Amino acid sequence: MVTTIQSEPTTTVPGDAARLAATVGFVREQDATTLLPLLLPGLDGPELRALLECCRFSHAALLVFPGDQEALRAQLADCGLDPAVVPQPSVVVRQRLAARHLRDAAELDVRILRPLVLGSDGAHRTVEIFTLSVPPGSPLAQIAEHERLWQHEAHLAFEVERPDPLALRGLCAVLARHGALADGGGYNQHEDGTVLYFTAPADSKCGYRRVEIYLPGDHQGVLASHLEEFRARQPAETLLRQLTGAWATQALAVFAELRVPDAMDTRVATSAGTLARAVGADEESLARLLRYLATLGTVAADHDGFRLTEIGTLLRADSPGSTRPLALMYGGPFYQSFAHLAHTVRTGQTAFDHLFGENHFDHFARDPELALLFDQSMAASARMFGPLTTHPVVTAASTAPVPRTVVDVAGGNGELLARLLTAHPRLNGVLLERPHVIEAARRSLAAAGCGERCDYQVGDFADVPPGGDLYILSRVLHDWDDDRCREILRHLARVMPAHADLLVVERVLPDDDSPSLAVSWDLHMMCNVGGRERRTDHYARLLAEAGLTFVDRSPLPLDATVLHARKAITETVDLPGQLPLTGDGEAPTPGLPPS
Protein backbone atom coordinates (compact mmCIF):
# COMPACT_ATOMS: atom_id res chain seq x y z
CA MET A 1 0.00 0.00 0.00
CA VAL A 2 1.23 3.52 -0.85
CA THR A 3 -0.46 6.56 0.66
CA THR A 4 -2.63 8.71 -1.61
CA ILE A 5 -0.96 12.03 -0.73
CA GLN A 6 -0.70 14.04 -3.95
CA SER A 7 1.89 16.51 -5.25
CA GLU A 8 -0.96 18.97 -5.96
CA PRO A 9 -4.09 19.57 -3.86
CA THR A 10 -7.31 17.86 -4.79
CA THR A 11 -10.77 19.39 -4.82
CA THR A 12 -11.95 16.77 -2.32
CA VAL A 13 -10.04 17.06 0.94
CA PRO A 14 -10.13 14.03 3.26
CA GLY A 15 -11.00 14.78 6.86
CA ASP A 16 -8.59 14.30 9.73
CA ALA A 17 -10.04 10.90 10.69
CA ALA A 18 -9.60 9.50 7.17
CA ARG A 19 -6.07 10.86 6.83
CA LEU A 20 -5.09 9.48 10.23
CA ALA A 21 -6.45 6.02 9.38
CA ALA A 22 -4.59 6.00 6.04
CA THR A 23 -1.34 7.00 7.73
CA VAL A 24 -1.65 4.27 10.37
CA GLY A 25 -2.20 1.67 7.65
CA PHE A 26 0.82 2.93 5.73
CA VAL A 27 3.10 2.66 8.77
CA ARG A 28 1.89 -0.87 9.52
CA GLU A 29 2.60 -2.17 6.02
CA GLN A 30 5.84 -0.45 4.97
CA ASP A 31 9.49 -0.91 5.92
CA ALA A 32 12.81 0.65 4.85
CA THR A 33 13.61 -2.12 2.37
CA THR A 34 10.49 -1.41 0.30
CA LEU A 35 10.29 2.35 0.91
CA LEU A 36 13.81 3.47 0.02
CA PRO A 37 13.69 2.25 -3.62
CA LEU A 38 10.30 3.98 -3.99
CA LEU A 39 11.63 7.16 -2.45
CA LEU A 40 14.85 7.20 -4.49
CA PRO A 41 14.28 5.56 -7.90
CA GLY A 42 17.60 4.54 -9.40
CA LEU A 43 19.09 3.58 -6.06
CA ASP A 44 21.64 0.82 -6.72
CA GLY A 45 22.32 -2.21 -4.55
CA PRO A 46 25.39 -0.94 -2.66
CA GLU A 47 23.68 2.39 -1.94
CA LEU A 48 20.55 0.65 -0.65
CA ARG A 49 22.61 -1.60 1.62
CA ALA A 50 24.52 1.42 2.96
CA LEU A 51 21.29 3.25 3.74
CA LEU A 52 19.73 0.21 5.39
CA GLU A 53 22.79 -0.09 7.65
CA CYS A 54 22.59 3.61 8.51
CA CYS A 55 18.90 4.20 9.19
CA ARG A 56 15.50 2.59 9.69
CA PHE A 57 11.95 3.60 8.75
CA SER A 58 10.56 5.06 11.97
CA HIS A 59 7.26 6.81 11.24
CA ALA A 60 4.94 8.69 8.93
CA ALA A 61 3.56 12.06 10.01
CA LEU A 62 0.53 14.25 9.50
CA LEU A 63 -0.95 17.44 10.95
CA VAL A 64 -4.51 17.35 12.34
CA PHE A 65 -6.79 20.03 13.77
CA PRO A 66 -9.02 18.62 16.54
CA GLY A 67 -11.63 20.84 18.12
CA ASP A 68 -10.34 19.83 21.54
CA GLN A 69 -8.29 17.13 23.24
CA GLU A 70 -11.32 14.88 23.77
CA ALA A 71 -11.96 14.80 20.02
CA LEU A 72 -8.31 13.93 19.41
CA ARG A 73 -8.40 11.04 21.89
CA ALA A 74 -11.52 9.67 20.17
CA GLN A 75 -9.79 9.71 16.76
CA LEU A 76 -6.78 7.91 18.20
CA ALA A 77 -8.96 5.22 19.72
CA ASP A 78 -10.88 4.72 16.46
CA CYS A 79 -7.55 3.95 14.71
CA GLY A 80 -6.41 1.50 17.38
CA LEU A 81 -3.88 3.94 18.84
CA ASP A 82 -3.27 4.64 22.50
CA PRO A 83 -5.43 7.67 23.40
CA ALA A 84 -3.46 8.29 26.59
CA VAL A 85 -0.27 9.38 24.81
CA VAL A 86 0.82 12.74 26.25
CA PRO A 87 1.50 15.47 23.66
CA GLN A 88 4.74 17.49 23.80
CA PRO A 89 5.46 20.96 22.30
CA SER A 90 6.57 20.89 18.65
CA VAL A 91 9.13 23.62 17.99
CA VAL A 92 9.96 22.99 14.33
CA VAL A 93 6.43 22.65 12.95
CA ARG A 94 5.20 25.61 15.00
CA GLN A 95 7.93 27.79 13.43
CA ARG A 96 7.13 26.50 9.95
CA LEU A 97 3.41 27.25 10.36
CA ALA A 98 4.15 30.71 11.74
CA ALA A 99 6.41 31.53 8.78
CA ARG A 100 4.02 30.07 6.19
CA HIS A 101 0.94 31.89 7.49
CA LEU A 102 2.64 35.07 8.77
CA ARG A 103 1.55 34.45 12.36
CA ASP A 104 3.25 34.98 15.67
CA ALA A 105 4.52 31.57 16.75
CA ALA A 106 3.24 32.28 20.27
CA GLU A 107 -0.34 32.10 18.89
CA LEU A 108 0.13 28.55 17.64
CA ASP A 109 0.04 25.87 20.30
CA VAL A 110 1.38 23.05 18.14
CA ARG A 111 1.82 19.71 19.89
CA ILE A 112 3.33 16.42 18.86
CA LEU A 113 2.53 12.86 19.95
CA ARG A 114 3.83 9.54 18.75
CA PRO A 115 1.56 6.56 19.46
CA LEU A 116 3.14 3.19 18.80
CA VAL A 117 2.21 1.07 15.74
CA LEU A 118 3.24 -2.56 15.29
CA GLY A 119 4.42 -3.15 11.73
CA SER A 120 3.53 -6.22 9.68
CA ASP A 121 7.19 -7.22 10.01
CA GLY A 122 6.92 -7.09 13.82
CA ALA A 123 8.91 -3.85 14.11
CA HIS A 124 7.79 -1.13 16.52
CA ARG A 125 7.17 2.15 14.70
CA THR A 126 5.09 5.25 15.38
CA VAL A 127 2.64 7.60 13.78
CA GLU A 128 3.86 11.14 14.33
CA ILE A 129 0.82 13.33 14.85
CA PHE A 130 1.13 17.12 14.97
CA THR A 131 -1.91 18.82 16.44
CA LEU A 132 -3.16 22.39 16.35
CA SER A 133 -6.44 22.78 18.23
CA VAL A 134 -9.02 24.65 16.14
CA PRO A 135 -12.34 24.97 18.02
CA PRO A 136 -15.44 25.91 16.03
CA GLY A 137 -15.30 29.57 15.02
CA SER A 138 -11.57 29.83 15.68
CA PRO A 139 -9.60 32.37 13.54
CA LEU A 140 -7.17 29.50 12.91
CA ALA A 141 -9.74 27.71 10.72
CA GLN A 142 -8.18 29.14 7.56
CA ILE A 143 -4.83 27.65 8.52
CA ALA A 144 -6.47 24.24 9.03
CA GLU A 145 -8.21 24.44 5.67
CA HIS A 146 -5.02 25.34 3.84
CA GLU A 147 -2.90 22.69 5.59
CA ARG A 148 -5.42 19.89 4.98
CA LEU A 149 -5.44 20.85 1.30
CA TRP A 150 -1.68 21.00 0.79
CA GLN A 151 -0.49 18.62 3.54
CA HIS A 152 2.79 20.47 3.95
CA GLU A 153 3.67 18.63 7.17
CA ALA A 154 2.90 15.13 5.92
CA HIS A 155 6.17 13.24 5.66
CA LEU A 156 7.80 9.91 6.18
CA ALA A 157 10.81 9.59 8.43
CA PHE A 158 13.94 7.53 8.89
CA GLU A 159 15.88 7.48 12.14
CA VAL A 160 19.66 7.32 12.30
CA GLU A 161 20.19 5.36 15.50
CA ARG A 162 23.95 6.04 15.79
CA PRO A 163 24.56 9.48 14.23
CA ASP A 164 28.20 9.19 13.18
CA PRO A 165 29.32 12.36 11.30
CA LEU A 166 30.86 10.36 8.45
CA ALA A 167 27.71 8.25 8.04
CA LEU A 168 25.54 11.38 8.10
CA ARG A 169 27.57 12.99 5.32
CA GLY A 170 27.25 9.82 3.26
CA LEU A 171 23.49 9.64 3.87
CA CYS A 172 22.95 13.27 2.83
CA ALA A 173 25.16 12.75 -0.23
CA VAL A 174 23.09 9.78 -1.42
CA LEU A 175 19.85 11.73 -0.95
CA ALA A 176 21.25 14.69 -2.90
CA ARG A 177 22.62 12.47 -5.66
CA HIS A 178 19.14 11.09 -6.29
CA GLY A 179 17.41 14.47 -6.31
CA ALA A 180 16.30 15.05 -2.70
CA LEU A 181 16.61 18.73 -1.72
CA ALA A 182 17.24 20.24 1.72
CA ASP A 183 13.94 21.63 3.07
CA GLY A 184 14.70 23.03 6.52
CA GLY A 185 14.94 21.40 9.93
CA GLY A 186 15.69 22.21 13.54
CA TYR A 187 16.50 21.04 17.04
CA ASN A 188 13.76 20.19 19.55
CA GLN A 189 15.14 20.68 23.05
CA HIS A 190 12.02 19.13 24.60
CA GLU A 191 13.03 15.72 23.31
CA ASP A 192 16.71 16.35 22.53
CA GLY A 193 16.41 15.50 18.85
CA THR A 194 17.59 17.04 15.57
CA VAL A 195 15.50 16.80 12.39
CA LEU A 196 16.63 17.35 8.80
CA TYR A 197 13.84 17.77 6.25
CA PHE A 198 14.19 17.02 2.54
CA THR A 199 11.89 17.46 -0.45
CA ALA A 200 11.48 14.06 -2.11
CA PRO A 201 12.87 13.68 -5.66
CA ALA A 202 10.47 14.64 -8.46
CA ASP A 203 10.30 11.02 -9.66
CA SER A 204 9.69 9.57 -6.18
CA LYS A 205 6.99 6.90 -6.05
CA CYS A 206 6.51 6.69 -2.29
CA GLY A 207 3.58 9.13 -2.27
CA TYR A 208 5.13 11.62 0.19
CA ARG A 209 6.62 14.95 -0.83
CA ARG A 210 8.73 15.38 2.29
CA VAL A 211 11.23 13.16 4.08
CA GLU A 212 12.60 13.57 7.59
CA ILE A 213 15.91 12.27 8.86
CA TYR A 214 15.78 12.13 12.66
CA LEU A 215 18.99 12.27 14.71
CA PRO A 216 18.84 11.66 18.47
CA GLY A 217 20.72 14.43 20.28
CA ASP A 218 21.88 17.94 19.44
CA HIS A 219 23.84 18.04 16.16
CA GLN A 220 24.39 21.77 15.61
CA GLY A 221 27.13 21.38 12.98
CA VAL A 222 25.15 19.01 10.76
CA LEU A 223 22.01 21.12 11.17
CA ALA A 224 23.83 24.35 10.31
CA SER A 225 25.23 22.87 7.08
CA HIS A 226 21.81 21.49 6.16
CA LEU A 227 20.05 24.82 6.77
CA GLU A 228 22.72 26.67 4.81
CA GLU A 229 22.03 24.39 1.85
CA PHE A 230 18.30 25.03 2.24
CA ARG A 231 18.70 28.80 2.43
CA ALA A 232 20.85 28.80 -0.68
CA ARG A 233 17.64 27.89 -2.53
CA GLN A 234 15.84 30.88 -0.94
CA PRO A 235 17.74 33.89 -2.40
CA ALA A 236 15.62 36.65 -0.82
CA GLU A 237 15.86 35.10 2.65
CA THR A 238 19.57 34.45 2.17
CA LEU A 239 20.26 38.06 1.22
CA LEU A 240 18.19 39.37 4.13
CA ARG A 241 20.12 37.22 6.59
CA GLN A 242 23.39 38.48 5.12
CA LEU A 243 22.28 42.10 5.36
CA THR A 244 21.42 41.69 9.04
CA GLY A 245 24.69 39.99 9.97
CA ALA A 246 25.80 43.08 11.87
CA TRP A 247 22.90 42.56 14.24
CA ALA A 248 24.33 39.19 15.23
CA THR A 249 27.76 40.73 15.93
CA GLN A 250 26.32 43.33 18.27
CA ALA A 251 23.91 40.91 19.95
CA LEU A 252 26.76 38.53 20.78
CA ALA A 253 29.01 41.36 21.93
CA VAL A 254 26.32 42.75 24.27
CA PHE A 255 25.55 39.24 25.53
CA ALA A 256 29.24 38.89 26.44
CA GLU A 257 29.67 42.45 27.73
CA LEU A 258 26.82 42.07 30.24
CA ARG A 259 28.22 38.68 31.30
CA VAL A 260 24.84 37.03 30.73
CA PRO A 261 26.48 33.66 29.82
CA ASP A 262 28.11 33.58 33.28
CA ALA A 263 24.64 33.80 34.88
CA MET A 264 23.16 30.97 32.79
CA ASP A 265 23.07 27.19 33.13
CA THR A 266 23.57 24.70 30.33
CA ARG A 267 20.98 22.20 31.59
CA VAL A 268 18.30 24.11 33.47
CA ALA A 269 16.49 27.07 31.92
CA THR A 270 16.50 30.41 33.75
CA SER A 271 13.79 33.03 33.38
CA ALA A 272 14.57 36.34 31.69
CA GLY A 273 13.57 38.13 34.91
CA THR A 274 16.08 36.21 37.00
CA LEU A 275 18.84 36.82 34.45
CA ALA A 276 17.98 40.51 34.18
CA ARG A 277 18.30 40.95 37.94
CA ALA A 278 21.58 39.05 37.97
CA VAL A 279 23.25 41.20 35.30
CA GLY A 280 21.49 44.52 35.88
CA ALA A 281 19.44 44.65 32.67
CA ASP A 282 15.88 45.50 31.64
CA GLU A 283 13.84 42.29 31.73
CA GLU A 284 11.84 42.78 28.53
CA SER A 285 14.84 44.02 26.52
CA LEU A 286 17.00 41.13 27.70
CA ALA A 287 14.25 38.62 26.85
CA ARG A 288 14.08 39.99 23.31
CA LEU A 289 17.86 39.79 22.97
CA LEU A 290 17.85 36.17 24.19
CA ARG A 291 15.03 35.26 21.83
CA TYR A 292 17.17 36.52 18.93
CA LEU A 293 20.24 34.67 20.21
CA ALA A 294 18.15 31.48 20.28
CA THR A 295 17.84 31.77 16.49
CA LEU A 296 21.65 31.81 16.31
CA GLY A 297 21.97 28.71 18.51
CA THR A 298 23.78 30.62 21.27
CA VAL A 299 20.99 29.90 23.77
CA ALA A 300 18.00 27.56 23.77
CA ALA A 301 14.52 28.75 24.75
CA ASP A 302 11.61 26.91 26.35
CA HIS A 303 8.60 27.74 28.52
CA ASP A 304 10.82 28.00 31.64
CA GLY A 305 13.19 30.54 30.11
CA PHE A 306 16.61 30.22 28.50
CA ARG A 307 19.58 27.94 28.87
CA LEU A 308 23.09 28.20 27.47
CA THR A 309 24.10 25.97 24.54
CA GLU A 310 27.57 24.60 23.85
CA ILE A 311 28.18 27.54 21.53
CA GLY A 312 27.11 30.03 24.19
CA THR A 313 29.48 28.59 26.81
CA LEU A 314 32.41 29.89 24.76
CA LEU A 315 31.35 33.42 25.76
CA ARG A 316 31.67 32.75 29.49
CA ALA A 317 34.52 34.74 31.01
CA ASP A 318 35.89 31.73 32.90
CA SER A 319 35.28 29.10 30.22
CA PRO A 320 38.34 27.20 28.92
CA GLY A 321 39.01 28.65 25.50
CA SER A 322 36.72 31.63 26.19
CA THR A 323 36.15 33.82 23.15
CA ARG A 324 34.59 36.62 25.18
CA PRO A 325 37.52 39.00 24.44
CA LEU A 326 37.07 38.37 20.72
CA ALA A 327 33.37 39.19 20.95
CA LEU A 328 34.18 42.48 22.67
CA MET A 329 36.91 43.30 20.16
CA TYR A 330 34.81 42.48 17.08
CA GLY A 331 31.80 44.28 18.55
CA GLY A 332 33.94 47.26 19.61
CA PRO A 333 36.70 49.07 17.70
CA PHE A 334 36.73 46.74 14.71
CA TYR A 335 32.95 46.97 14.41
CA GLN A 336 33.22 50.75 14.32
CA SER A 337 35.93 50.79 11.67
CA PHE A 338 34.13 48.27 9.47
CA ALA A 339 31.43 50.91 9.00
CA HIS A 340 34.05 52.76 6.92
CA LEU A 341 34.82 49.84 4.62
CA ALA A 342 33.69 51.92 1.63
CA HIS A 343 36.59 54.32 2.29
CA THR A 344 39.04 51.43 2.03
CA VAL A 345 37.48 50.09 -1.15
CA ARG A 346 37.44 53.54 -2.77
CA THR A 347 40.92 54.67 -1.74
CA GLY A 348 42.90 51.58 -0.75
CA GLN A 349 43.54 53.21 2.65
CA THR A 350 42.90 51.47 5.95
CA ALA A 351 39.47 52.35 7.38
CA PHE A 352 40.72 52.03 10.98
CA ASP A 353 43.34 54.74 10.39
CA HIS A 354 40.75 56.91 8.64
CA LEU A 355 38.28 56.63 11.54
CA PHE A 356 40.61 56.94 14.53
CA GLY A 357 43.25 59.19 13.00
CA GLU A 358 46.09 56.80 13.77
CA ASN A 359 47.07 53.23 13.05
CA HIS A 360 46.02 50.36 15.23
CA PHE A 361 49.45 50.08 16.89
CA ASP A 362 49.30 53.60 18.31
CA HIS A 363 45.57 53.52 19.05
CA PHE A 364 45.76 50.39 21.18
CA ALA A 365 48.99 51.53 22.86
CA ARG A 366 47.26 54.74 24.03
CA ASP A 367 44.40 52.87 25.71
CA PRO A 368 45.46 50.40 28.44
CA GLU A 369 42.01 48.79 28.54
CA LEU A 370 42.03 48.16 24.78
CA ALA A 371 45.61 46.88 24.96
CA LEU A 372 44.62 44.43 27.71
CA LEU A 373 41.52 43.36 25.77
CA PHE A 374 43.61 42.66 22.71
CA ASP A 375 46.17 40.65 24.67
CA GLN A 376 43.30 38.59 26.09
CA SER A 377 41.86 38.07 22.61
CA MET A 378 45.27 36.84 21.45
CA ALA A 379 45.27 34.28 24.23
CA ALA A 380 41.75 33.18 23.34
CA SER A 381 42.79 32.75 19.73
CA ALA A 382 45.93 30.81 20.56
CA ARG A 383 43.85 28.19 22.37
CA MET A 384 42.24 27.32 19.04
CA PHE A 385 45.55 25.99 17.73
CA GLY A 386 46.18 23.10 20.12
CA PRO A 387 47.04 20.63 17.31
CA LEU A 388 50.19 22.66 16.62
CA THR A 389 51.69 20.93 19.68
CA THR A 390 51.65 17.61 17.78
CA HIS A 391 53.12 18.96 14.54
CA PRO A 392 55.95 16.66 13.33
CA VAL A 393 58.53 19.45 13.55
CA VAL A 394 57.57 20.19 17.17
CA THR A 395 57.55 16.49 18.03
CA ALA A 396 60.98 15.99 16.41
CA ALA A 397 62.43 18.90 18.38
CA SER A 398 61.03 17.53 21.63
CA THR A 399 62.56 14.08 21.11
CA ALA A 400 66.05 15.31 20.15
CA PRO A 401 68.99 13.97 22.26
CA VAL A 402 69.59 17.43 23.75
CA PRO A 403 66.96 20.00 24.83
CA ARG A 404 65.81 22.27 22.00
CA THR A 405 64.74 25.90 22.08
CA VAL A 406 61.54 27.32 20.62
CA VAL A 407 61.55 31.04 19.81
CA ASP A 408 58.05 32.56 19.64
CA VAL A 409 58.37 35.85 17.75
CA ALA A 410 55.66 38.36 18.75
CA GLY A 411 54.15 35.62 20.90
CA GLY A 412 51.65 37.76 22.79
CA ASN A 413 51.12 36.81 26.41
CA GLY A 414 52.68 33.39 25.89
CA GLU A 415 49.54 31.29 25.56
CA LEU A 416 50.80 29.39 22.50
CA LEU A 417 54.33 29.00 23.86
CA ALA A 418 52.95 27.72 27.16
CA ARG A 419 51.00 25.07 25.29
CA LEU A 420 54.12 23.90 23.47
CA LEU A 421 56.28 23.80 26.60
CA THR A 422 53.58 22.06 28.63
CA ALA A 423 53.11 19.37 25.96
CA HIS A 424 56.87 18.84 25.57
CA PRO A 425 58.86 19.08 28.85
CA ARG A 426 62.23 18.77 27.01
CA LEU A 427 61.67 22.04 25.12
CA ASN A 428 62.84 25.44 26.31
CA GLY A 429 61.32 28.70 25.15
CA VAL A 430 62.17 32.29 24.28
CA LEU A 431 59.42 34.89 23.96
CA LEU A 432 60.10 38.11 22.05
CA GLU A 433 57.53 40.85 22.74
CA ARG A 434 56.81 44.40 23.94
CA PRO A 435 57.62 45.35 27.56
CA HIS A 436 54.09 45.38 29.03
CA VAL A 437 53.18 42.15 27.22
CA ILE A 438 56.30 40.45 28.58
CA GLU A 439 55.08 40.97 32.13
CA ALA A 440 51.72 39.35 31.29
CA ALA A 441 53.57 36.49 29.60
CA ARG A 442 55.72 35.87 32.68
CA ARG A 443 52.58 35.44 34.75
CA SER A 444 50.91 33.23 32.11
CA LEU A 445 53.86 30.88 31.68
CA ALA A 446 54.47 30.71 35.43
CA ALA A 447 50.82 29.77 35.98
CA ALA A 448 51.21 27.04 33.36
CA GLY A 449 54.17 25.61 35.31
CA CYS A 450 56.78 26.21 32.61
CA GLY A 451 58.07 29.70 33.44
CA GLU A 452 61.47 28.36 34.52
CA ARG A 453 62.04 26.95 31.02
CA CYS A 454 61.39 30.25 29.26
CA ASP A 455 63.48 33.38 28.67
CA TYR A 456 61.92 36.73 27.83
CA GLN A 457 63.34 39.27 25.42
CA VAL A 458 62.01 42.78 24.89
CA GLY A 459 62.42 44.10 21.37
CA ASP A 460 61.23 44.14 17.79
CA PHE A 461 61.88 41.99 14.73
CA ALA A 462 65.50 43.18 14.46
CA ASP A 463 66.06 41.67 17.92
CA VAL A 464 65.08 38.08 17.10
CA PRO A 465 67.56 35.99 19.11
CA PRO A 466 69.94 33.69 17.21
CA GLY A 467 70.61 30.06 17.97
CA GLY A 468 67.06 28.76 18.27
CA ASP A 469 66.06 25.35 16.94
CA LEU A 470 62.46 26.20 16.11
CA TYR A 471 61.04 29.66 15.31
CA ILE A 472 57.33 30.44 15.30
CA LEU A 473 55.48 33.32 13.61
CA SER A 474 51.85 32.90 14.63
CA ARG A 475 49.54 35.24 12.68
CA VAL A 476 52.21 37.89 12.23
CA LEU A 477 52.75 38.11 8.48
CA HIS A 478 49.09 38.78 7.65
CA ASP A 479 49.44 42.13 9.45
CA TRP A 480 51.87 43.46 6.84
CA ASP A 481 52.26 44.20 3.14
CA ASP A 482 54.68 42.12 1.08
CA ASP A 483 57.69 44.43 1.52
CA ARG A 484 57.49 44.32 5.29
CA CYS A 485 56.89 40.57 5.29
CA ARG A 486 60.12 40.12 3.36
CA GLU A 487 61.95 42.29 5.93
CA ILE A 488 60.59 40.25 8.84
CA LEU A 489 61.53 36.98 7.17
CA ARG A 490 65.02 38.27 6.31
CA HIS A 491 65.62 39.07 9.98
CA LEU A 492 64.74 35.48 10.81
CA ALA A 493 66.84 34.05 7.98
CA ARG A 494 69.84 36.02 9.26
CA VAL A 495 69.71 34.58 12.81
CA MET A 496 68.37 31.06 12.17
CA PRO A 497 70.96 28.28 12.35
CA ALA A 498 71.21 26.03 9.31
CA HIS A 499 69.34 23.21 11.08
CA ALA A 500 66.51 25.38 12.42
CA ASP A 501 62.87 25.17 11.36
CA LEU A 502 60.33 27.96 10.95
CA LEU A 503 56.59 27.42 11.47
CA VAL A 504 54.31 30.16 10.10
CA VAL A 505 50.70 30.01 11.32
CA GLU A 506 48.18 31.88 9.13
CA ARG A 507 44.76 31.54 7.57
CA VAL A 508 45.75 30.68 4.01
CA LEU A 509 43.48 31.61 1.12
CA PRO A 510 42.28 28.50 -0.75
CA ASP A 511 43.72 27.96 -4.22
CA ASP A 512 40.30 27.19 -5.70
CA ASP A 513 38.36 30.10 -4.14
CA SER A 514 36.31 27.67 -2.07
CA PRO A 515 34.58 29.04 1.08
CA SER A 516 37.04 29.69 3.90
CA LEU A 517 37.38 31.86 7.00
CA ALA A 518 40.56 33.16 5.37
CA VAL A 519 38.46 35.03 2.81
CA SER A 520 36.58 36.83 5.59
CA TRP A 521 39.79 37.64 7.44
CA ASP A 522 41.33 38.99 4.26
CA LEU A 523 38.59 41.64 4.18
CA HIS A 524 39.12 42.32 7.89
CA MET A 525 42.86 42.79 7.41
CA MET A 526 42.27 45.15 4.48
CA CYS A 527 39.76 47.29 6.37
CA ASN A 528 41.21 47.36 9.88
CA VAL A 529 44.89 46.54 9.70
CA GLY A 530 46.35 47.25 6.28
CA GLY A 531 47.51 43.66 5.91
CA ARG A 532 46.16 40.70 3.97
CA GLU A 533 45.73 36.93 3.83
CA ARG A 534 47.62 35.06 1.10
CA ARG A 535 47.68 31.82 -0.87
CA THR A 536 50.31 29.16 -0.22
CA ASP A 537 52.28 30.01 -3.36
CA HIS A 538 52.35 33.67 -2.29
CA TYR A 539 53.89 32.73 1.07
CA ALA A 540 56.34 30.38 -0.65
CA ARG A 541 57.45 33.28 -2.86
CA LEU A 542 57.97 35.61 0.12
CA LEU A 543 59.94 32.93 1.94
CA ALA A 544 62.17 32.33 -1.07
CA GLU A 545 62.83 36.05 -1.52
CA ALA A 546 63.96 36.19 2.12
CA GLY A 547 66.37 33.27 1.80
CA LEU A 548 64.05 30.59 3.19
CA THR A 549 62.66 27.47 1.56
CA PHE A 550 59.01 26.43 1.82
CA VAL A 551 58.83 22.74 2.85
CA ASP A 552 55.18 21.80 3.36
CA ARG A 553 51.86 22.82 4.93
CA SER A 554 49.47 21.19 7.41
CA PRO A 555 45.87 22.11 8.36
CA LEU A 556 44.87 23.52 11.73
CA PRO A 557 41.38 24.14 13.16
CA LEU A 558 39.22 27.05 12.02
CA ASP A 559 40.68 27.11 8.50
CA ALA A 560 44.17 27.91 9.77
CA THR A 561 47.35 26.44 8.29
CA VAL A 562 50.88 25.90 9.53
CA LEU A 563 53.54 26.49 6.86
CA HIS A 564 56.89 24.79 7.42
CA ALA A 565 60.05 26.48 6.11
CA ARG A 566 63.79 26.04 6.50
CA LYS A 567 66.84 28.09 5.69
CA ALA A 568 67.92 28.12 2.06
CA ILE A 569 71.50 27.25 1.17
CA THR A 570 72.19 30.85 0.16
CA GLU A 571 71.26 33.19 2.98
CA THR A 572 69.75 36.65 2.43
CA VAL A 573 71.03 39.18 4.99
CA ASP A 574 69.85 42.51 3.54
CA LEU A 575 68.28 44.14 6.60
CA PRO A 576 66.15 47.27 6.33
CA GLY A 577 65.09 49.20 9.45
CA GLN A 578 63.44 47.73 12.51
CA LEU A 579 59.74 46.97 12.63
CA PRO A 580 57.29 46.93 15.52
CA LEU A 581 56.20 43.53 16.73
CA THR A 582 52.69 42.30 16.07
CA GLY A 583 50.94 38.98 15.82
CA ASP A 584 49.71 35.85 17.51
CA GLY A 585 46.13 37.13 17.52
CA GLU A 586 43.09 37.50 15.31
CA ALA A 587 44.14 41.07 14.51
CA PRO A 588 47.28 43.26 14.82
CA THR A 589 49.01 43.61 18.14
CA PRO A 590 49.88 47.17 19.11
CA GLY A 591 53.60 47.38 18.50
CA LEU A 592 56.64 49.50 19.17
CA PRO A 593 57.30 52.35 16.74
CA PRO A 594 60.02 51.70 14.16
CA SER A 595 63.46 52.72 15.38
Residue pLDDT, tens place only, 112-140: 999 999 998 899 999 999 999 999 889 89
Say whether domain 244-319 belongs to CATH 1.20.1560.10.
no
- Extended strands (E) in 47-180: 55-64, 88-89, 110-113, 116-118, 124-132, 155-160
CATH 3.10.180.10, the chain: domain bounds:
16-236
Average pLDDT (224-241) is: 80
Active site (annotated) includes residue 478: yes
User: Phi/psi of residue 530, each to 5°?
Assistant: 90, 10
Residue pLDDT, tens place only, 369-406: 888 788 777 767 666 677 888 899 999 999 999 999 99
- The beta-carbon contacts of 453-458 under 8 Å, at least 24 apart in sequence, are 453/421, 453/427, 453/428, 453/429, 454/414, 454/417, 454/421, 454/428, 454/429, 454/430, 455/428, 455/429, 455/430, 455/431, 456/430, 456/431, 457/430, 457/431, 457/432, 457/433, 458/432, 458/433, 458/434
Residue pLDDT, tens place only, 182-222: 988 888 877 788 999 999 998 899 889 999 999 998 888 88
Q: What is the CATH number of domain 320-595?
A: 3.40.50.150
pLDDT at 242 over 90: no
Per residue, the 3-state secondary structure of 446-463, as one string, reads HHCCCHHHEEEEECCHHH
CATH 3.40.50.150, the chain: domain bounds:
320-595
User: With contact defined as beta carbons under 8 Å apart, do 589 and 529 qualify?
Assistant: no
User: With contact defined as beta carbons under 8 Å apart, do 385 and 474 qualify?
Assistant: yes
% of the chain beyond a pLDDT of 70:
92
Residue pLDDT, tens place only, 141-165: 999 999 998 899 999 999 998 888 8
Q: What pLDDT is stored for residue 318 in this prediction?
A: 87
CATH 1.10.10.10, the chain: domain bounds:
244-319
**Cβ-based neighbours of 127, under 8 Å, separated by 6 or more:** 20, 23, 24, 27, 59, 60, 61, 62, 81, 114, 115, 117
Q: What is the CATH number of domain 16-236?
A: 3.10.180.10
Identify the DSSP state of 466.
Answer: S
Catalytic residue among 478, 524, 538, 564: 478
Residue pLDDT, tens place only, 296-341: 889 988 888 999 998 899 999 988 778 999 999 999 999 999 999 9
Residue pLDDT, tens place only, 536-554: 999 999 999 999 999 999 9
Provide the whole-model pTM.
Answer: 0.64
Residue pLDDT, tens place only, 447-496: 989 999 999 999 988 999 999 999 999 999 999 999 999 999 999 999 99
pLDDT at 497 over 80: yes
Average pLDDT of the chain, as a whole number: 87
Average pLDDT (521-529) is: 94
Residue pLDDT, tens place only, 566-585: 998 654 444 444 455 555 43
Residue pLDDT, tens place only, 262-281: 999 998 999 999 999 999 99
